[in-house]
Amino acid sequence: MPIHDWTRVDAGLFHHFHQGWTTTLSNALNAGILPRDYFALVEQRIQGPIPDVLTLELSPATEEPADDYGGALAVVTAPPRTDLTRRIESEIYAARADRITVRHRHGNVVAVVEIVSPGNKSSRSAFRAFVEKSADLIQQGVHLLVIDLFPPGKRDPQGVHKALWDEFLDEDLEIPSNKPLTLAAYDAGPPQVAYVNFIGVNDPLPDMPLFLRPEFYVPAPLESTYQATWNLFPAALKGLLGGRT
């Protein structure tokens, strides 16, 4: 279904939708999209930002062969369909030698899904904390999927992807004026790779890659879970966003 213009309502209403969407997305991932040894949880506190959805792998691993990815797609045979792909070819071997592994009491955190909220951009310090902590996750080897349904503002004039990617590689980026919203999937690598789609209000949401290991991912069902969440959004409030059902 078409994306709504969430700038038309206050942050509290988006927060309500945000909470429902994260639960629906987590449930969808657990309903057969993730391989057997992986599972998704909502809002578990880990080192770094408080994420919306965590993807974890059981620890210790099962007795499956090390190269068995349980149905995950390989980039080499099924490259993600995105508007923009950026790869950092250089590897910083010193950083790899003492890379921090983020752990959770239920298993190893392998990926985080973050749905950007108005609060993430409410102040310079809030946005800087979001960017730095998100970059830290990638540097620690945790894959990241960022969903930003808000257009660039004074905190991120070139969008959230540009702000985050500049932590790794500063390069020019021009966002299409009619597609100011950003979906960005980050393969933590090595090498680190960004897969970015630019979308606009009234566009459908494409599925985005959620990486489980370098170059292996599952499709995150953004469109179907957004629709399911919208179906349960209070009917009395839908008119504030255009009234589409």
Select the more confidently predicted residue: 48 or 141: 141
Q: Which residue type occupies 102?
A: V
- Average pLDDT score over the chain: 80
142-162: pLDDT as tens digits? 999 999 999 999 999 999 999
3-state secondary structure the chain: CCCCCHHHCCHHHHHHHHHHHHHHHHHHHHHHHCCCCEEEEECCCCCCCCCCEEEEECCCCCCCCCCCCCCCEECCCCCCCCCEEEECCCCCHHHHHCCCCCEECCEEEEEEEEECCHHHHCCHHHHHHHHHHHHHHHHCCCEEEEEECCCCCCCCCCCHHHHHHCCCCCCCCCCCCCCCEEEEEEECCCCCEEEEEEECCCCCCCCEEEEEECCEEEEECHHHHHHHHHHCCCHHHHHHHCCCC
Confidence of residue 54 (pLDDT cuts 50, 70, 90): low
What's the pTM value of the predicted model, to 2 decimals? 0.81
121-143: pLDDT as tens digits? 988 998 999 999 899 999 999 99
As a whole number of Å, the CA-based R_g of the chain is 17
